[in-house]
Amino acid sequence: MADPYSTLGVSKSASEAEIKSAYRKLAKQLHPDRNKDNPKAAEKFSDVTKAYDLLSDK
What's the average pLDDT block by block, 10 residues per block, for the chain (58 residues)? 92 96 97 93 95 88
Q: Are 10 and 18 in contact (CB under 8 A)?
A: yes
d(CA 10, CA 12): 7
- Options 3.20.20.450, 2.60.40.10, 1.10.287.110, 1.10.645.10; CATH for 15-56 is 1.10.287.110
Output the pLDDT for position 41.
Answer: 93
Output the pLDDT for position 2.
Answer: 85
| Residue 47: closest CA among 28, 26, 33, 20 | 26
Backbone φ/ψ region at 6: left (φ over 0), alpha (ψ -120 to 50), beta: alpha
d(CA 18, CA 10): 7
